[in-house]
Structure 1
Amino acid sequence: MFHVVRRVGGGGLWANLALLLCLSLFPFTTAWVDDSRFARTPIVLYGLNFMAAALAYFILQKVIIRTEGPGSALRQALGKDFKGKFSPVVYLIGIIAALKMGTVGIVVAVASYVAVAIMWIVPDRRMARLVNESEHD
């Protein structure tokens, strides 16, 4: 994402720090899920960690786009941003399932978190194309 950004203001720095804070919590929440053998509370907090990171990423995108203006290369690359909008919905489904459905809910939650991870493993061609174009300019 930062390959296509031309300038970053203070808001972008703060938004990036918030994202990094959320990401830094993953080793703790992952270890807790493992140590508890997939107990409900750690699974829910793991989902909340994912949700917080997704929200921080969304805010970072919006701050960068606002800083760069309506002709932002990032805005053009994101387009409708299906992955970015769909991920929090799936995380929320997983969190609610873990809270309401007992053991089956924990399986649904873990499957939801894994599904989003698999979705993000597939590279976004729009962003890659824009990065390639900006490197040739």
Structure 2
Amino acid sequence: MTKTRLEAFSDGVLAIIITIMVLEIKVPHGTDWNELIKLLPVFFSYVISFLLVGIYWGNHHHLLHTLKHVNSPIILSNLNLLFWLSLVPFATGWMGENHFAPNTIIVYSILLICCGLSYAILQNIIIKSGLAQSEFTDALKKQNMKVLISFAADLIAIPMAYVNPVISGVLLALQSLIWLIPDKNIEKTLPNK
């Protein structure tokens, strides 16, 4: 199977995920500024999740870009990643609607950990398959520090949810922000297509 179908399907699922998330932001019935202020927790949770899904989309694109074709383990591990990412709108909506209450932050953080683990599984399957360029797989391995920081931020956000939900919110935002800076090692290895 060529990678084109897998890329198209994944792009479609991720686009739907973002669409569902934005539809969760309900238009206020009033015209006062206070009505918009009430939406700030919902909007902030949307921004965090939009960044998260966008970053996964970009990294997923880079991951698949070096492949010529895919095999069954890659397809199944990709479905696993899309499953966990498809739960992001639910966790985003619940966290925003409940103003970052501790239990909602915990569920969101656990979901981010599951997304990260499923992405790592997909990445490792691609590396072990030998279907990607060796330079690219070497560059992927250089991202271990970012992976550890993200995992630690998600993990620390769980107990911090009971101490101070604002700190948890900041940790969740920071773990996405560190991935916004493009990795020059990855970009150098991508074939020009």
Indicate the TM-score class for this superposition, using the shorter chain for normalisation.
0.7 to 0.9
The answer to whether structure 1 residue 108 and structure 2 residue 170 are counterparts is: no
Pairing 1:17-28 to 2, within 5 Å after superposition:
17-28=79-90
Aligned counterpart for 1:93 among listed residues 142, 156, 178: 156
User: Whose radius of gyration is greater, 1 or 2?
Assistant: 2
Please, what TM-score do these two structures have when normalized by structure 2? Answer: 0.62
Where does residue 75 of structure 1 map in the other structure?
Answer: 137
- Equivalent pairs counted in the alignment come to 130
Q: Is the 8 A contact 2:102 2:161 kept in 1?
A: yes
Per the TM alignment, residue 128 of structure 1 is displaced from its structure 2 partner at its CA by 1.3
Where does residue 29 of structure 1 map in the other structure?
Answer: 91
Q: Distance in 2 between matches of 1:55 and 1:32?
A: 22
Q: Is the 8 A contact 2:68 2:131 kept in 1?
A: no
Q: Distance in 2 between matches of 1:38 and 1:27?
A: 14
Cα pair distance change 1:91/1:126, threshold 3 Å: same
Q: Distance in 1 between matches of 2:70 and 2:135?
A: 13
Please, what TM-score do these two structures have when normalized by structure 1? Answer: 0.85
Aligned counterpart for 1:126 among listed residues 185, 188, 191: 185
Q: Percent identity?
A: 29
Could you list the per-position Cα deviations for residues 41-86 of structure 1 after superposition, in whole angstroms to 9, with x for gaps in the alignment?
1111011111111001111110001111797343212132121232
Q: Is the 8 A contact 2:150 2:176 kept in 1?
A: no
Question: Mean Cα displacement is larger for which, 106-115 or 74-83?
Answer: 74-83
Question: Mean Cα displacement is larger for which, 71-80 or 115-124?
Answer: 71-80
Cα pair distance change 1:74/1:6, threshold 3 Å: farther
Q: Is the 8 A contact 1:44 1:98 kept in 2?
A: yes
Residue 56 of structure 1 aligns to a residue in which SS? helix
Unaligned 5+ segments in structure 2 are 1-62
Q: Distance in 2 between matches of 1:79 and 1:23?
A: 23
